[in-house]
A and B are shown apart, each in its own frame.
Chain A
Amino acid sequence: MTLPMLSGDLQVITVGAGLLGEAVDAQAVPRVGVDWRPPLPGTEAAIARVLADPRRAAANETAVDRLLSARPHLVTVRPAHEVLDLAPGAFLHAGPPIGWKRASGPLRGALIGAMLYEGAAGDAREAERMLAAGDVRLSPCHHHRTVGPMAGVVSRSMWMLEVHDAEHGGTAYCSLNEGLGKVLRYGAYGPEVLKRLQWMGDVLGPVLRAALAVSGPLDLRALMAQALQMGDELHNRNRAATSLLLRELAPAIVDAAPERAAEVLRFIHGNDHFFLNAGMAACKVSADAARNVPGSSMVVAMARNGTDFGIQVSGLGDRWFTGPAGVPDGLYLGAYGPADANPDIGDSTITETGGVGGFAMAASPAIVRFVGGDVAEATAATRSMYEITLAEHPAYQIPGLGFRGTPVGIDVTLVARTGLLPVVNTGIAGRVAGTGQVGAGLVNPPVEAFTTALAALAEEAPENTA
């Protein structure tokens, strides 16, 4: 056998005692020093056990390969009741499972609004009473191949974007984006909110369906790759992606519904976040392809319900690992301040799970000051995510980093080893139901979501390993 290190010019990687690194430097040998720090407290044994799991390396390779090779296409738009297992009186919500009692303001507001929209209650008070009484079935979007931004409430009559994975055959859904300001997903349920939902059901949904029938499936992977090169990070900035989507769909919209085309196009044009929901469904269908690989420590979902932040891990089935959702640190609209902010909410962290959003911050100079800083800090944020991810995305690239692929495939063991938590870039909902968006910023997921997932992986690891 030959050892590569015995011939050729040696490079040394040092981790640990600085003195031994300096001894290498004194010999004028090229060296990369690791800035090592102890892992998250109490995780040493679980880390060692999970790393020793003989399935892990191959399992993670499989999982991340599936995540990266997914080819999401927007195929159509359909009412939720046609495609989701959603009985009358049942509603989906963002994040891990939660009941009315622990639900935060925006989620409560959105549920009330959805009940009013469905005609399940006559007024807000009645809706609230029914919800509090448990007469309404609540279930996470993620349990239904669905994601929803912010409150993420989905009801039977809402129209859903249907995204199909041409590689692995999966399907995922996301609702249509309502725009900014007072909207259902931020917990607003006033008459203008319901009126807009009505219009979206009556006009927007059917027109988009007809347009997609004309245009055929839309390659979201290609569109997202382009948008990243146009300054979007695809969570908090979707301006380029929305523009690209509009450009793709406009002729078909005009062909399919000439008499409604203007109002539909105007609506999409007026909402820089219109693409967000399609991007989320694309990330969801990709992440779902990577689910259920035994032994894999890769995160396949991160989601918040306004109270808890939860993650799911490929090797751990549909179990949720949760911790308290934090309040984002960011900038506030108008006179709003941190006291008005609700804890972190929404399934939109599926974008970070899929390697965009906060992970692609370096691609988006226009929004970097959400980090409270400058381009350099955004670049640093993206770079730090390479530390906790398994791969670099082949299609989603960052021009400013020499077209390096975005960091993708969060590994629970790497989070525990480095203590680096996923960078999440998000909107901030008002804590009082009906307020709407109050700001935008960055939020840290709770450490315990990752440490409990790690502990579960350690338990699942085969016996008799180190």
Chain B
Amino acid sequence: MSADLVRVRSGVYHDSVSLMGVSRALAALPGVEAAVVAMATELNLGLARDLGFDLPPADPSGLLIAVRAGDAGTLDAAEAELERQFAALANRRTGGEAAVSPPRTTRAALAGVEGAAVALVSVPGEHAFAEALDAVEAGVSVMVFSDNVSIEQEIRLKDRAAAVGALVMGPDCGTAAVGGVGLGFANVLRPGEVGLVAASGTGAQQVATLLDHAGAGVSHILGVGGRDLSAEVRGRSTVRALRALDADPATSLIVLISKPPAPEAADLVLDTVRGLATPVVPALLGPDGHDLTSAAEAVLNALEMPIPDWPSWIARESGEMTAHGPGWAGGALHGLYAGGTLCAEAEALAGEGTFTDFGADAYTRGRPHPMIDGTLRLDALAAVPAGDVVLLDVVLGHGADPDPSASLAPAVAQAVRRGIAVVAVVVGTEGDPQGLTRQIHALAGAGASVFISNAHAVRHAVSLTGSAK
């Protein structure tokens, strides 16, 4: 035996949507068979009649309540729920604005941005083109940290950028500094007048940190990506970056850091350099050109600043080591690097040994860059045979491991105890979050020889190997 509750209330108005919500809440109660809570329009009265409710006369300004339940108790419960629902409707706050959710694309993020802006794209390579293109199409320069971007996409991005007066830094651009703001892996550098155009991230970091140590400041570091000076890309970004620094009033000397450009790009770049009002120090790395340290020295010469003695902390030989005679004897050289250009430079300068770039694709797929997480490199260090020489780099700055020596120093100490000579280059500045001195002391304290110049570190390491005898 079911029971009906039928009421028409006057002087009450709720919109139909609210009332549908009330109806639904009542109908959801166990034992309620039907519920119509609605303004008493002809349509709604008809619906209720179709359900078999016996309705009193009502005009559309009334509020119709028609509930059917299995028993009177349930009906009472439904009526209580009804009152609760109406009270809730009456008290309903006018819902404030939801916290504005963050933009989902670079395009949307740029919608509210005006003035000087740069986009930093580090999504997986196959998605980087879309985000970078958003920036370029909005006329905004972009740093593409991502690697694995196709060369066709790189060219297309750079051509679009040229058309709108923007710059594409990258792809695979590890470091940039724009007006003192570090992007990607970036050191805290003193402001100054030297502008860097770099096809190599760690190369730029080495030169800039050496300059910082020597007291020379940096205006901007514009990365261009490792392929920019290839035959295909033909220096599209290098040329634009050079011109931009030439026009920048804060920059009075430009340094171009790159491997020697492909012949197809070289002429273009050289022509551009000749056309600039600002002097350019080319630091073309390789056997016939510079190493990074001599490049920094050339910059200091151009600035007419003295070249300091690049500091080093040479580990004293321990007792068991001296047993091998003067200097660590014999061992082979193992270069365990996180920075690609530093690794290449070391390999070229050393002319012997085995070198591993842990920042290369093969080691970074599915895991963080070794500058952020050095686990793989620590494993490699542990596997070096006793008596050998290890050469490694520690890159400081924003974005990098907040305290690399915390994990590295104990590993170094262990290696030294195993009779391994460890030589480290620390690329950083005193202003870096990790603190240059702190990191150097931790590594030197663990028994490593420490340098801030990679070239000097390499030479020292080579002097410790068997071949140096």
Any A–B CB pair closer than 8 Å: yes
What is A's interface to B at a CB cutoff of 8 Å?
1-17, 19-21, 23-24, 26-27, 29, 32-39, 44, 47-48, 51-52, 57, 180-181, 331-335, 365-370, 374-377, 379-380, 383-384, 386-387, 400, 413-414, 417-418, 420, 439-440, 465-466
Residues A414 and B145 in contact in the complex (CB < 8 Å), given A48-B153, A375-B95: no
Which residue of chain A has its CB nearest to the CB of B121? A15
Contact A10 B247 (CB under 8 A): no
Contacts of A29 in B (CB 8 A): 181
CA of A96 to CA of B76, assembled, Å = 50
Contacts of A370 in B (CB 8 A): 17
The yes or no answer to B166 lying at the interface (CB within 8 A) is: yes
Interchain residue pairs A-B with the least CB separation, the first 3: A16-B122, A331-B20, A376-B98
Residues A3 and B167 in contact in the complex (CB < 8 Å), given A380-B98, A387-B108: yes
Contact A2 B244 (CB under 8 A): yes
Residues A12 and B247 in contact in the complex (CB < 8 Å), given A36-B104, A331-B24, A366-B17: no
User: What distance in Å separates the Cβ of B63 from its nearest Cβ neighbour in chain A?
Assistant: 15
Contacts of A368 in B (CB 8 A): 17
Q: Mark B1-41, 1 if CB is under 8 A from A, else 0.
A: 00000000000000101101101100100000011101000
Residues A386 and B111 in contact in the complex (CB < 8 Å), given A7-B248, A12-B120: yes
CA of A39 to CA of B105, assembled, Å = 10
Contacts of A365 in B (CB 8 A): 94
Residues A180 and B43 in contact in the complex (CB < 8 Å), given A10-B118, A367-B17, A375-B94: yes
The stretch that binds A, out of B126-134, B292-300, B305-313, B420-428, is B126-134
Complex interface residues of chain B between 380 and 420 (CB less than 8 A to chain A): 398-399
The number of chain B residues with a CB under 8 A from chain A is: 90
The yes or no answer to B455 lying at the interface (CB within 8 A) is: no
Which residue of chain B has its CB nearest to the CB of A464? B152
- Listed residue (A13, A24, A35, A38) with the most chain B CB atoms within 10 angstroms of its CB: A13
Residues A5 and B17 in contact in the complex (CB < 8 Å), given A35-B104, A36-B131: no
CA of A181 to CA of B127, assembled, Å = 49
The yes or no answer to B362 lying at the interface (CB within 8 A) is: no
User: What distance in Å separates the Cβ of A185 from its nearest Cβ neighbour in chain B?
Assistant: 15
Contact A16 B101 (CB under 8 A): no
The A-B contact count (CB < 8 A) is: 251
The yes or no answer to B110 lying at the interface (CB within 8 A) is: yes
Contact B118 A17 (CB under 8 A): no
Residues A5 and B118 in contact in the complex (CB < 8 Å), given A39-B127, A417-B105: yes
Say which residue of A5, A26, A417 sits within 8 Å of B398 (CB atoms): A26
Which residue of chain A has its CB nearest to the CB of B248? A6
Which residue of chain A has its CB nearest to the CB of B400? A23
Contacts of B152 in A (CB 8 A): 52, 465-466
Residues A3 and B166 in contact in the complex (CB < 8 Å), given A20-B399, A375-B95, A466-B150: yes
Contact B120 A24 (CB under 8 A): yes
The yes or no answer to B47 lying at the interface (CB within 8 A) is: yes
CA of A216 to CA of B120, assembled, Å = 55
CA of A375 to CA of B95, assembled, Å = 5
Contact A12 B183 (CB under 8 A): yes
The yes or no answer to B46 lying at the interface (CB within 8 A) is: yes
Contact B15 A24 (CB under 8 A): no
Contact A20 B102 (CB under 8 A): no
The yes or no answer to B100 lying at the interface (CB within 8 A) is: yes
Contacts of B44 in A (CB 8 A): 333-334
Residues A5 and B178 in contact in the complex (CB < 8 Å), given A334-B36, A335-B27: yes
The yes or no answer to B51 lying at the interface (CB within 8 A) is: yes
User: What distance in Å separates the Cβ of B139 from its nearest Cβ neighbour in chain A?
Assistant: 8
Contact B141 A3 (CB under 8 A): yes
Which residue of chain B has its CB nearest to the CB of A3? B244
CA of A51 to CA of B130, assembled, Å = 7
User: What distance in Å separates the Cβ of B58 from its nearest Cβ neighbour in chain A?
Assistant: 16
User: What distance in Å separates the Cβ of A30 from its nearest Cβ neighbour in chain B?
Assistant: 9
CA of A417 to CA of B115, assembled, Å = 26
Q: Mark B63-107, 1 if CB is under 8 A from A, else 0.
A: 000000000000000000000000000000011111011111111
Contacts of B129 in A (CB 8 A): 48, 51-52, 466
Contact B101 A23 (CB under 8 A): no
- Listed residue (B24, B50, B98, B124) with the most chain A CB atoms within 10 angstroms of its CB: B98
- Listed residue (A38, A51, A181, A334) with the most chain B CB atoms within 10 angstroms of its CB: A334
